[in-house]
Structure 1
Amino acid sequence: MPAAIMLSMLALPGASRGGQPCPNCGPVTTRPWTFPERDHDGTRSVLVRSVLVRPARPRPLDSLQQAVVESLLAERRTTASEFLDAAIRAADVEADAAALSWFQRVLDAVADAGDDRPTLLADLGDFADQAALLRLARRLRPLDADSPQLIDAMREAARQRRRDPARLAQAAADLASVSAPVRQAAVDELARARIDSLPSLVDLLQSTSPEKRVARVLARELISDMGTDARQPLLAWLGSGDVDHWQGVIAALEATGSSDVADFFLAPALVPGTPPGVQRAGLAALTRHTARLTGEPDHTIQPPTGGVAISIVATRLDCILSPQGMPHVPLHPTEGPPTVSRWRWNQQALRLEPVEVSARLARSIDAAHLARDLQALDARDPLAVRLVTLTRVESLLLSAGEAETALERIPAARLAEAFTGPDGLDPGAVTDVLEEALDREMTEVAVAAVELIEAMHTAAPDQAAAAALPPATRKTLVKLVDAPNETLAFAAARALALTGGDGLAKGNSRMVERLLRAATARGVDRAVVAHPDLAVANTLAADASRHGYRTTVVASGHEALRAAASSVDTNLVLLGARIAHPGAFETLQGLRQPGRGELPPVMIVVDPLDDLGRGRKLSTLILQARAHSCVGIVDRLPSFFEPTFDAAGTLLAPPRFPEELATISQAESANPAWRQARAWQRMERGRQALEILALLGHQGFDLSAGEENARLAITTPSLLPAALKLLAVVGRPGAQATLVGQALTEVDPQIRALALAALRENVERFGMLLAQQEIDELCRGYNAGSDAGLRETAATILGFLPKRASPAIGPPRPGFAPPSPVVHPAGFTRPRPSPKAPSVDAAALQPTR
């Protein structure tokens, strides 16, 4: 045997990698664990390879501990399992030094096992209770940081052996043995495997051989002992396409004793074309279930009709797709987004495998099983059809990846197919699904429905006009413009704008306001800091900026509301507990008003003295904040925003701000990369909003309110072309002045050409709205300018003036100034036909990749 035998030689996945943490014991060492080398005297020493975490000075033992240690020494122990038993008993009374001494003997026995080492590790893992092994690992970790890895190796080896399909199949076959000891050993083997034994037990339940009658009885008892633990794995198996095993799965589900699994037997029992064995098993299970409920004899029970079955399954699917049907997840996950544990059937490996999935995906998997049954039962009830459509669309979105960008990766044809019901793709049915998704808080499905409605009612390039938007659909979209979810509200506003209609139709003003709000995005994270003390506010702003926020400092509640509403990028509000006009709680209520978009995370900053006096402000705020989501009470100690170090510069604790942000908002909010991706999505919606507003301007909408949005968007390169298009349809002097300034200062010839084209269009629409002083400045720049490019740009701009008012422009001469043009008053529109509105540029409105 080599001098150093690596644990990876055991070929145990998960236990062979150095530094892998045990989910129950915490982190382990970061180097691979090795068996110790032999000392010169031929003995092995465990301590030569151990990492001592603290000085190994044992505490004096009390009388009970001393008695246990002496009793363990009095017994003769020769095997590894006996050494492990002694280590566990010593650890249970906190005699840690004695426990380590016994565990060293376990280590020596494992190292001497040679080729039998995997078998010995598995035997040790099965010998002791898992909880006892975990307690032993926790007690030994402070003395020997490597010992828990050997315990993990024991547990993993035992788990792998318990999952061995060949061993489990043999154990299932031994249930039919005529020897009672063999049957008992098989029962023990299968009972230890628990869920992993289900495939072998299901195969046994599928058999009809009389010789295996006793074995089937034992199999049902084993599954009954698992109880509800076996329910979800078996339902996942029944929901798969492994029809050949459905007969045994139905028998196993019935054996669990769960009272709510009978609904899943309806489709296998009633759908024509199901294999006869599966139908018989389903009908028999339904009959026995009904007999237990009613107390009637089995032979008097009639199977349910198709209509009754559809009603039962649809009712169950209705409950699953409700907000209350979402599986429970931990409120404070240790790391990463919260997940729930599920089992899935691996058809290739023919085994059940545990997986960790999001709560939304877990619900979708459960709903897909019932939706499949409803489709097989040929459900035509409107509610059942909507529920099936909701399930299909949500499954499609989840399969496309990240929720925020899933729709971009789904082809339009596949999305339309998911919304297609038994009677085809009907716009009214899509609207009904949209309403259903809103009632069930399925926001992503609602956004998908809105985008499909937009696609169905937007004219293609080869079409003269698209189908008119139905009144009911338009009413729903107008209602969604005020939705708290920014993505859904923007999708509704975009659909209303691009599907045409009368410019005076109800809801158009709210549509424009929502698009203008979306156009305030700049691709950054903004924080509003509101505190009556300016020095404290500036300190909080500086602290927030360290975490990637651009801050706006205000001193009152009204200013905080205005600052938060001024930009869609506002995703954090820091409120001083003593803010006034209005107070912190009233300001919080104002942030929740309809039409303000999503409520950003709000942190109410308190001081240590806020609870003094009669007001008990801190206690009152804490009680009030409990009624609101996305709200937390925080302090302004340095440890909240900054990491904590000791005198030697060693990190003691990270800043508490990311954890608090993840608690009151989404768990991913503490991830800067996730926040940056969300910021880019907001900026892309802002670009689309500018493009759409420009199209509305060509249709006659008054977009004077968009002048400031476009002027500020010019400072962002990716928004500049769309901002210029919007300025071209804003009939205000400031819009023309901004375009002139952009044309004169822009160094990129393409952008300069866009600015000049936008200015020309604006002048043709509204006349020259520049002040006389600004025109005179252009003339002076042309006459006295030394830069040929600027002179050419100025000449181009002056050429946009009406012919009767244009100054005579020629080679500049000393003292020459063109005559002043006739300037139209603000708001004057020249009496000429409006230029034809350009066609919708679909490519410009698609998200940039």
Structure 2
Amino acid sequence: MRSLFTTCWILLAAAGTVAAQAPGEAAAPVDSPAVAAIREANPTTPLELAETAGLMVDLGRVDLAIEYLNKLLSDKPSDDDLVKMQAKLGSGPLIRLQTLPELQPAGTEVAKLVFAAVEKLTRNPAFLQAQVDALASSDDVAVRRASIALRGAGAAAIEPLLLAYAGSDNPATRDAALKIILQLGQDAEAPLWGALDSTDPSIKAAALSALGALRSTRSLDVLVGPAVAADEAPEVRRAASKAVVDIVGEPASTSDVEKFLTKRIERYLAGEPVFAGGPFAELDVWTWSDAAPHLTKKTLSMADASTVWTAHLARDLAAIDPQNPQNARLRMVTALQSVIALDGPNAEIKGTPADAAAQQLGAASVAEALDYALTHPRMTMAAIAACRWLGEQGDLAALAPRNGQPSALAAALSHGAYRVKAAAADAVLALNPTSPYPGSSALIEALLSFAKTSGERIAVIADPDSTRAQELAGRLTELGYTVLTRRGRRELFDAAYSTPDVELIFISDAVDRPGAFEMVQILHHDKRTANTPVGVIPWIEDYSRWQVRLTDDPYALALIRAHDAEGLTGQIQQMYAQQGRLLVDANEREARGDRALDSLAALAAEPKYKFYDLLLYEAEIADLIRDPASMEAAAALLSNLATPVAQSALVETASEVVRPLVERQMCAKAFADAVQRKGLQLTREQILRQYDRYNASEIYDRETQQVLASLLDTMEASAKGVRLDQPGLVQPVMEEVEK
């Protein structure tokens, strides 16, 4: 094939350019000798097809170039063939295919296919290890190719490079590995930070040495601790000390390091950003595991990355003086925060550094940490993790009162943050107490609040100008929200507190008595809306002033009035970004609502849980049956309660002819079960009304009549077969039923 292309180029040079077609002619292109020779060669491999497509472009036959590119795509070449193609052609011809307008979309598809295969290969651990092994070759060309491949892999190459730098017996390999790490520059820093989690002194020392050689001033926070920590291996302390000297020019004393780390941690916990970036900026955070693959990357928000960084510093501070109880507690709290930042609010705590710190200090210290976190908004993720850890331990002592007050875990059941309350409820249900404990009613209140979800995404608007309110409501509706518009204070608060599904609140600065600022404060001091994002929409000339006024509220934001859905979407993303890991979407709320109903039903069914006294909440439980999403579980729960309110709710729901038949049948069955469990609990008036409904049902379908008849059958069976619609018999029978 190579000689064929050489011949084609000779023919092309001799013939000059392809003869131009006369103006106005529409005849099909005629193959030049060069084109004919190439077509006769019948290229088939991916490399041949790609080369041929490029030649056809040069010969003025874009139509044939596209034909060859489409054949390449239809052949579905393997990743190996695509990588060989890139190695042969280089990136230039592929970029040309991607950028020539007349070759689209086939040119772009081919280029993307090749680049994806190359990307996949350069991230393959076996390939990267082979390139590191090639650094020891005596073949300069092989070493150069391996170096190019490793540099091209970027941060993904740090693990094999670091392992070679730390443990290779070949000095040339170690030197080459360090050289490539230094060439990667800032791309190498984050993976090297992650390698400091290693328990292998040689790995940790190698990472410290590399950071020092990079002169990485950003790394100073994580270098100073190991330099003075008494428990660190000598090689780790030496590497860290040298790195500090390389960066700042002089060694650091233990007292200076303690002061430095303490001040840094305090500033970060107070909200000072560790890393620069906007509200949507993200950072790759790497963690090290002793099991391969050692380095794992997670892309986090800047806030979560800062949380992980702060936990690293607190760990280093605690290692300097292991006997310092204050530093040990700080290490545990920040480690708890870090677990949620890394793995999300549903993360298992067992087996993490946070678990190790908690086991070392004990459950009482975790409870104290939870108590502290519940009152400090920046420690909310630590509260979530502490609840989960206490639930994982299975020790009912976590619910024991403290100084006559409910335990921290019981107190968390009433917290304003949805996720804290959810983690606390999960923990208490996992502990499964069967005797009273202080604060037990908060569990029922939490479960009921979860059960009230409708699965909707609700936004509330407060604006006295109805035209502006409707304009904003229309855009929110386009984006999939159910919108509640309100003009005044009381209406706004009623709407905001009405359901756990309120995700966003928008307030115009034109509202009065109280004003917008006071409304924000009231909303964020109420546990039901403490973490709900609120956007204040001022007049444009007041925007800067409102930005300043809302600076100290992490869940409030000044907004410029959006005039299209795209602008509003960007503002909503900013509002959600304020919640970070505390954000709960509609699907999760709906799933938790279902689980909450199941838990309530289980508590109502077992006598051992009677101390929860669900009768106090029967009216709220009865309201749940109105929602089709929760009707089935609510019917089962009301059947277990079997109180007058519960039986009445079941009868009324079963009698609503506008409801689907299956729902009415379900409620009728639940009513029969309730009567069998505790007897008939309805009043004379309710019973007679049910006879009236049945007598008026002749206009309805047969299935509806059967449902209404089944309700009367249940009532009469409980009343010993007496017709309760006969006035002379009703009162004596009811007296007998009551007995």
Q: TM-score range by the shorter chain?
A: 0.5 to 0.7
The offset of 1:775, in angstroms, is 3.3
**CA, structure 1 residues 6+658, in 2 after alignment: closer, same or farther (shift >3 Å)?**
farther
* Superposition map of 1:459-474 within 5 A: 468-471=400-403, 474=406
Q: Identity across aligned pairs (percent)?
A: 21
SS of residue matched to 1:595:
coil
Which of 757, 782, 796 does residue 714 from structure 2 map onto? 796
1:663 paired with 2:574, answer: yes
After alignment, is 447-456 or 182-191 more displaced?
Answer: 182-191
Is the Cα contact below 8 Å between 1:431 and 1:449 reproduced in 2? yes
SS of residue matched to 1:774:
helix
* Deviation sequence 1:565-606 (CA, Å, 0-9, x none): 011111133445534454444333332223223443445567
Is the Cα contact below 8 Å between 1:523 and 1:683 reproduced in 2? no
* Deviation sequence 1:472-502 (CA, Å, 0-9, x none): 8835346534533112134446767965776
SS of residue matched to 1:548:
coil
**CA, structure 1 residues 549+6, in 2 after alignment: closer, same or farther (shift >3 Å)?**
farther
Between the aligned partners of 2:244 and 2:91, the Cα distance in structure 1 is 45
The offset of 1:631, in angstroms, is 3.4
Is the Cα contact below 8 Å between 1:342 and 1:356 reproduced in 2? yes
After alignment, is 432-441 or 156-165 more displaced?
Answer: 156-165
The offset of 1:538, in angstroms, is 5.3
1:681 paired with 2:592, answer: yes
* Superposition map of 1:68-467 within 5 A: 118=86, 121-122=89-90, 203=164, 230-240=188-198, 248-258=206-216, 260=220, 262-263=223-224, 265=226, 270=231, 279=234, 281-285=235-239, 288=242, 322=269, 324=271, 328=275, 330-331=277-278, 333=280, 339-342=282-285, 356-357=299-300, 362=305, 379=322, 381-383=324-326, 385-386=328-329, 389=332, 403=344, 405-406=346-347, 414=350, 419=355, 426-435=362-371, 438=374, 439=376, 441-453=378-390
**CA, structure 1 residues 216+773, in 2 after alignment: closer, same or farther (shift >3 Å)?**
closer
* Deviation sequence 1:663-685 (CA, Å, 0-9, x none): 2214999xx99543444334544
Between the aligned partners of 1:415 and 1:345, the Cα distance in structure 2 is 14
Between the aligned partners of 2:584 and 2:116, the Cα distance in structure 1 is 37
SS of residue matched to 1:752:
helix
SS of residue matched to 2:408:
helix
Between the aligned partners of 2:697 and 2:473, the Cα distance in structure 1 is 44
The offset of 1:562, in angstroms, is 0.8
**CA, structure 1 residues 143+627, in 2 after alignment: closer, same or farther (shift >3 Å)?**
farther
- Alignment match, 1:563: 495
Read off the aligned partner of 1:562 and give its amino acid letter.
Answer: D
Between the aligned partners of 1:416 and 1:115, the Cα distance in structure 2 is 40
The offset of 1:561, in angstroms, is 0.8
Is the Cα contact below 8 Å between 2:285 and 2:297 reproduced in 1? yes
1:44 paired with 2:59, answer: yes
Is the Cα contact below 8 Å between 1:36 and 1:44 reproduced in 2? no
- Alignment match, 1:631: 557
**CA, structure 1 residues 205+173, in 2 after alignment: closer, same or farther (shift >3 Å)?**
farther
The offset of 1:559, in angstroms, is 0.2
- Alignment match, 2:449: 517
After alignment, is 349-358 or 585-594 more displaced?
Answer: 349-358
Between the aligned partners of 2:477 and 2:650, the Cα distance in structure 1 is 33
* Deviation sequence 1:353-383 (CA, Å, 0-9, x none): 9774555775687678779989999946544
* Deviation sequence 1:384-432 (CA, Å, 0-9, x none): 5545655776676678x6x35445xx8xxx4799746686794313313
The offset of 1:521, in angstroms, is 1.6
SS of residue matched to 1:631:
strand
**CA, structure 1 residues 473+242, in 2 after alignment: closer, same or farther (shift >3 Å)?**
farther
1:740 paired with 2:663, answer: no
After alignment, is 470-479 or 481-490 more displaced?
Answer: 470-479
Between the aligned partners of 2:436 and 2:130, the Cα distance in structure 1 is 72
Is the Cα contact below 8 Å between 2:486 and 2:492 reproduced in 1? yes
**CA, structure 1 residues 524+203, in 2 after alignment: closer, same or farther (shift >3 Å)?**
closer
Read off the aligned partner of 1:429 and give its amino acid letter.
Answer: S
* Deviation sequence 1:765-806 (CA, Å, 0-9, x none): xxx563x53233245567898856634532433565xxxxx6
Between the aligned partners of 1:799 and 1:329, the Cα distance in structure 2 is 74
SS of residue matched to 1:563:
helix
* Deviation sequence 1:210-242 (CA, Å, 0-9, x none): xx69x9889878866766554433343453466
Between the aligned partners of 1:776 and 1:159, the Cα distance in structure 2 is 75
SS of residue matched to 1:573:
strand
**CA, structure 1 residues 384+618, in 2 after alignment: closer, same or farther (shift >3 Å)?**
closer
SS of residue matched to 1:572:
strand
Is the Cα contact below 8 Å between 2:638 and 2:647 reproduced in 1? no
After alignment, is 483-492 or 444-453 more displaced?
Answer: 444-453
Between the aligned partners of 2:613 and 2:418, the Cα distance in structure 1 is 23
SS of residue matched to 2:406:
helix
**CA, structure 1 residues 763+527, in 2 after alignment: closer, same or farther (shift >3 Å)?**
farther
SS of residue matched to 2:503:
strand
Between the aligned partners of 1:172 and 1:782, the Cα distance in structure 2 is 92
- Unpaired runs of 5+ residues, structure 1, are 11-31, 52-113, 126-132, 460-464, 641-654, 801-805, 825-829, 833-849
Is the Cα contact below 8 Å between 2:415 and 2:421 reproduced in 1? yes
**CA, structure 1 residues 580+142, in 2 after alignment: closer, same or farther (shift >3 Å)?**
farther
SS of residue matched to 1:234:
helix
Is the Cα contact below 8 Å between 2:722 and 2:729 reproduced in 1? no
Between the aligned partners of 2:692 and 2:672, the Cα distance in structure 1 is 19
Between the aligned partners of 1:155 and 1:524, the Cα distance in structure 2 is 39
With structure 1 as the length reference, what TM-score do the two structures score?
0.58
Is the Cα contact below 8 Å between 1:6 and 1:35 reproduced in 2? no
1:777 paired with 2:689, answer: yes
Is the Cα contact below 8 Å between 1:386 and 1:432 reproduced in 2? no
Query: How large is the RMSD of aligned CA atoms in angstroms?
Result: 6.3
**CA, structure 1 residues 693+557, in 2 after alignment: closer, same or farther (shift >3 Å)?**
farther
Is the Cα contact below 8 Å between 1:6 and 1:33 reproduced in 2? no
Between the aligned partners of 1:47 and 1:322, the Cα distance in structure 2 is 61
Between the aligned partners of 1:668 and 1:630, the Cα distance in structure 2 is 10
The offset of 1:268, in angstroms, is 9.8
- Alignment match, 2:702: none
Is the Cα contact below 8 Å between 1:703 and 1:730 reproduced in 2? no
Between the aligned partners of 2:143 and 2:427, the Cα distance in structure 1 is 68
Between the aligned partners of 1:232 and 1:351, the Cα distance in structure 2 is 14
After alignment, is 375-384 or 752-761 more displaced?
Answer: 375-384
Between the aligned partners of 1:428 and 1:693, the Cα distance in structure 2 is 31
Read off the aligned partner of 1:796 and give its amino acid letter.
Answer: T
Is the Cα contact below 8 Å between 1:415 and 1:452 reproduced in 2? no
After alignment, is 142-151 or 576-585 more displaced?
Answer: 142-151
Read off the aligned partner of 1:341 and give its amino acid letter.
Answer: D
- Alignment match, 2:482: 550
SS of residue matched to 1:523:
coil
**CA, structure 1 residues 269+171, in 2 after alignment: closer, same or farther (shift >3 Å)?**
farther
Between the aligned partners of 2:362 and 2:653, the Cα distance in structure 1 is 48
- Alignment match, 2:11: none
**CA, structure 1 residues 270+753, in 2 after alignment: closer, same or farther (shift >3 Å)?**
same
**CA, structure 1 residues 617+534, in 2 after alignment: closer, same or farther (shift >3 Å)?**
same
SS of residue matched to 2:687:
helix
* Superposition map of 1:454-533 within 5 A: 468-471=400-403, 474-477=406-409, 479-492=411-424, 499=433, 514-533=446-465
Is the Cα contact below 8 Å between 1:744 and 1:794 reproduced in 2? no
